[in-house]
Amino acid sequence: MAPPTGFPYAPIDWSREQAAAAAAAEGLVLGEDHWALVRSLQEFYARHHNVAIHLRELQDALEEKFHHKGGIKYLYTLFPGGPVAQGCRLAGLTPPAGAVDRGFGSVA
């Protein structure tokens, strides 16, 4: 099965429609910047498929990629549940260890 158009690194069982429905259930309407983060997360995971994903390394990559818009602070305005934790859920990925603290909720 080919990945959805515009999402070359999407997991096989992921679809844009499912992500939009999950986002709506979380109170989000996904715009272009939301989709840019989803694509970035999917690409990062694809490029690091044979190693453990480290939260700090992923955050640093997102900070660099979205620096021109305000970095991680900006991404939190898009994903109040955490750009890594909530973003990974919507991207069809498992958040890295430490992204979600069951006692406090999303921390990344």
User: Do residues 35 and 103 make contact, with C-beta atoms less than 8 angstroms apart?
Assistant: no
* Contact call for residues 80 and 37 (beta carbons, < 8 A): no
* Residue 106, strand partner residues: 100
Strand, coil or helix: what is 101?
Answer: strand
Examine the pLDDT at 101 and tell me if it is beyond 80: no
Is residue 84 within 8 Å of residue 33, measured between CB atoms?
no
pLDDT tens digits along 40-78: 999 999 999 888 899 999 999 999 999 999 999 999 999
Is 0.75 topped by the overall pTM?
Answer: yes
Residues 97/73, Cβ–Cβ less than 8 Å: no
- Contact 48/73 with Cβ under 8 angstroms? no
